Structure 1
Amino acid sequence: MKNWWKATGLAAAGAMMLAGCSGTDGGSGSGGEDGETTLTAWAWNVNVGALEDAMALYQEENPDVKIEVEDIGRLDVYDKLSTGLAAGGVGLPDIVLVEDDRIGGYAQAFPDGFLNLSEKGFEDNADQFPSFKQDLATVNDSFYAMPFDAGPGGMFYRRSIFEEASVNPEDIETWDDFLEAGKKIKEATGVAAMPLDKFNDDPTFRMMLNQLGTYYFDENGNIDLTSPEAVMAMEKQMAFEEADLIKEVDGWNGTVSATIDGSVATIPFGAWYYGTIIDQAKDTSGDWGVFLLPAFEEGGNRASNLGGSSWMIPSGGDNEDAAYDFLEFFSTSPEAQVIAMEDYGLFPSLNAAYEEEVFTSEDEFFGGQKIWELFADEMADVETPYYTEDYALGLDEAIKAQADSFNGTDPAEALKAAAERLAERTDREINN
């Protein structure tokens, strides 16, 4: 397992704040008078229901354990978590959901703030998860999180649009293939190839970087925005812009609107976007399909990931052992993971879950395609994205580089300027 997390002044400050504080008012879970244990958890959105359903399964063998999940919103979770950790663990729950790009940052900034799961034996479960999820859940060779959902990437496409343009998705193997297909679709239907919030988000660029085995940072924590792969990815994205194949949208709602009204032929996103499609575009059942991201060269890597999260246990609470036992069950139970996917659209990171029947079943909404099998098959080939605790700054500068490219700056120059700004903001070296 790789470790690229770089200690910073924030990490040192976190260590000082928590030194000698772990174990004081750390958890708000409780043991009842009748021997019952009530675990507390913070999560958001569909993850709340998934956690509650997993507990229902767990209670079949552990009836004296219960859970109270507080749905406080994604950003509110992080605000409260940071505040509680800075206060030495006061008021924190027994369990908290954390997105993969934030795990290492928290574990570095607050080294005594979370349970070292390897010391509890979670290392024995490592091989049950794809290698990139193992990497993201570990810091300094120890697990600090239990892998939960992932976001294997794909191109969600409208069958009717492709058929009208006489384009066969099976013929699209490379980004150049997709560029030519996009031109053909635009000419025949007037529809753009894909949506993008050009000046505020870079999901397609991120997935391209991931499939090329690079990211904002390399495995040593150095800035990698000037790598040949990063330049190639930005240039490829700009080729679609120059061909007028990108529909500019306004954030998430704009992407959803383009999905509903059919003004784009594809949406490059993680597997979790399935839930949005079937919920927001109910009357398009049967008109959808999925193919993997095109490769940059024939026979190249088409696997990618966008998003994903894991469970962490704040240290010092009264219910550490109970929280660990429950989460280990949840993380390694194929049944619990399949329920989370079928009911909430949360794609599992557990390898054994891919052997379940749902992964070989046909999806009616997607024209009878075995879409879950497609997503599962790419998981083993996903490269590790090197987030570091400076991921938010890397994202900010990458988006600025993308915006500059759309405004006419040469992609290589835009990325070089972004890397230099990022170096000033993080004190990291640029990988030349």
Structure 2
Amino acid sequence: MKKNLLYASSLVALVSLSACGGSGSSGTSDDQTLTAWAWNINIPVLEEAAAQFKEDHPDFELEIIEVGTPDVYQRITTGLQANGEGLPDIMLVEDDRVQGYLSNFKDAFLDISEYDFEENHNDKFPSFKTELLNVDGGVYGFPFDAGPAGVFYRTDLFEEAGIYADEIETWDDFIEAGHTLRDELDVALTGIDISNDDGVYRMMLNQQGTFYFDDNEEVALASDESIKAMEVIQRLHQEGLNENLVGWDAWLSGLANGQVATAPTGAWLTGSLTEQAPDLEGQWGVFPLPAMEAGGNRASNLGGSNYMISAQTANPELAYEFMEYFSTSDDVQLTAMENGLFPSLNTIYDNDVFTSPIGYFGDQAIWELFSSMMEDIPSVNYTGNYSIARDETETAQSDAANGADVTDVMTRAEQQLQNRMN
């Protein structure tokens, strides 16, 4: 998840990481204590879930260790390389990291298909989440939050400039609206960090049913879909519609002070906007991500995470039972919602919270909009080379934004990525 104010857990000061390993250090199978690694806004959700679970399991205890990113991945990788030594029973892993771990350390994670999770619960989650965790017939984690994407926009600025959000159907329409904003108000349309964040490019890949890699794990940076997506980024920047806001804080500030009028991104931005710009209540709205062409798919995802259990846990049955409860309990997932996380559990989408108007967003029912997209989001093949692929695309994005030929840039990026993978 993007940066949020850290939720301080007093447990961090009391429990050292060396005492929370899942390879037997969390106790015998008779011990009803589990350990979990997670970060910031995920922690209160785990705490609430543990309290609820404890009502029917009075001896149950969950020790939560706050480990932020990227430290958590360094520690997980170290533990996996040591055959699970030092890992907790339960660990939070973001979507883009899962396939890398499973391609190299699949047996280090508990296969929950042995507990019939897929048979009992698969239809409760969108396919782009379940397919991520399914390898060779096994299931290696529990879907948690997701990042269905849309365009957050300043309704007051659009109105002043004479722009109608419901008339924006394609990225061409979006760019045209950007010119109107510049001409009428001298306000930027987007605040993409050109050299360090390719999130908008990734969303465009995802909505076209592709990614850095195709379904066969072949590099696809020079594909037609990739070139089309990068051409949009180039136009936004070259045509003076993008304000190059470097870093998370600058981006949020640009949205809060009116320097930038829109943010194509995941649903998780909601909490940050309401927190950072409370005085703009009633002046924000959300519309679906533009399609690459008229009638094209407008559903995409950016962000999301899952919980995985170490195969070395001393109590796999308890770990499974707790995480099954966590991931499929409506009450727990509504708690996640309250803490700024968008649940992938579809059984809660008919809850009043999803259909209720949100005052900050001009009484728009934005959660209903996001939930309606979930089943249309294509699956993503991150592979184990996600990190180096992103490194290459961010370099390519910078070159394209500065005017280089997009086809040449993406062909070179594809070749360089293939070289790094060999």
Report the CA distance shift for 1:26/1:203 in structure 2 as closer, same or farther (over 3 A). Answer: same
Select the residue among 50, 56, 65 that pairs with 1:70.
65
Query: Structure 1 residue 38 and structure 2 residue 27: aligned?
Result: no
Match of 2:361 in 1: 366
TM superposition shift of 1:29: 2.4
Does structure 2 conserve the Cα–Cα contact (< 8 Å) formed by 1:27 and 1:314? no
Aligned to 1:242: 238
Aligned residue pairs total: 401
Match of 1:128 in 2: 124
Deviation at 1:278, TM superposition (A): 0.8
Cα distance in 2, alignment partners of residues 305 and 198 from structure 1: 20
2:165 counterpart of 1:207? no
Sequence identity, in percent?
48
Match of 2:106 among 107, 111, 121: 111
Instruction: Show CA shifts across 1:257-290 (max 9, x none).
Output: 1111111110111000111101111111111100
The match for 1:228 among 224, 231, 235 is: 224
Could you say if the C-alpha distance between residues 36 and 28 of structure 1 is closer, same or farther in structure 2, counting changes exceeding 3 Å? closer
- Note if 1:297 corresponds to 2:293: yes
Please state how far the C-alpha of 1:111 moved relative to its aligned partner.
Answer: 2.7
Structure 1 residue 198 displacement after superposition: 0.5
In the TM superposition, residue 36 of structure 1 has moved relative to its aligned partner by 5.8
Q: Deviations over 1:12-60 (max 9, x none)?
A: xxxxxxxxxxxx961432369xx76111000011011111111122222
2:335 corresponds in structure 1 to 339
| Unaligned runs of at least 5 residues, structure 2 | 1-20
SS in 1 for 2:61: strand
Partner amino acid, structure 2, of 1:26: S
How far apart are the structure 2 equivalents of 1:243 and 1:157? 20
Tell me how far apart the structure 1 counterparts of residues 318 and 252 of structure 2 sit (CA, whole Å): 40
Structure 2 CA distance for partners of 1:98 and 1:27, relative to 1, 3 Å: farther
Are 1:146 and 2:127 matched, yes or no?
no
Aligned-partner Cα distance in 2 for 1:355–1:409: 48
Alignment of 1:267-346 (within 5 A): 267-342=263-338, 344-346=339-341
Match of 2:74 among 68, 75, 79: 79
Measure, in 1, the Cα distance between the counterparts of 2:156 and 2:206: 30
Cα 1:238–1:25 shift into 2, 3 Å: closer
Task: Tell me, yes or no, if the aligned pair for 1:167 and 1:181 is still in contact at 8 Å.
Answer: yes
Whole-angstrom CA distance in 1 between matches of 2:405 and 2:388: 22
1:69-112, Cα deviation, whole Å (9 max, x unpaired): 11111211111111112122212111000011111211221132
Partners of 2:137 and 2:303 lie apart in 1 by 22
**2:22–2:310 Cα contact (<8 Å) kept:** no
Distance 1:367 1:74 in 2: 34
TM-score, normalised relative to structure 2: 0.92
Distance 2:280 2:184 in 1: 20
Q: CA deviation at 1:386?
A: 1.1
Which residue does the alignment assign to 1:7?
A: none
Letter in 1 for 2:383: T
The question of 1:416 aligning with 2:408 is answered: no
Unmatched 5+ residue regions in structure 1? 1-23, 428-432
- The counterpart of 1:48, out of the listed 39, 43, 50, is 43
> For the aligned residues, what is the CA RMSD?
1.4
**Equivalent pair of 1:28/1:40 in contact (CA under 8 Å):** no
Say which SS state the counterpart of residue 148 (structure 1) adopts: strand
Contact 2:238–2:402 at 8 Å: present in 1 too? no
Name the SS of the counterpart of 1:110 in structure 2: helix
1:348-387 superposed matches below 5 A: 348-387=343-382
In structure 1, how many angstroms separate the alpha carbons of the residues matched to 2:104 and 2:31? 34
